[in-house]
Amino acid sequence: MAAACFAQNFLLAAHDAGVGAYWASLGALPHNRATLGVPEDYDVIGIFGIGYPEEVPAPKARAPLASKITYLT
């Protein structure tokens, strides 16, 4: 869980700095571990891809919160 908390905060900080970033679990697959040269005694939680985006699209319209809530009676 600590790794997921770190990843979330890292991605938020990258966004705040204007850097595009994503988290992928490519390193967990055996053939990718070999390609990346990951030792057997290491656990790969994720791989970050980071860089400056060529463009930043406008945010999509969000549905009102009330349309997402269903009250069960």
pTM of the model: 0.66
Q: Are 22 and 48 within 8 A, CB to CB?
A: yes
CB 18 within 8 Å of CB 52: yes
Query: Read out DSSP for 25-72?
Result: -GGGSHHHHHHHT--TT-----EEEEE--S--PPPPPPPPGGGG----
Query: What per-residue confidence (pLDDT) applies to 45?
Result: 82
For every one of its 73 residues, what pLDDT tens digit does the chain have, with 9 covering 90 and above?
Answer: 788 899 999 999 999 999 999 998 877 788 888 888 889 898 888 889 999 999 988 999 999 999 999 999 8
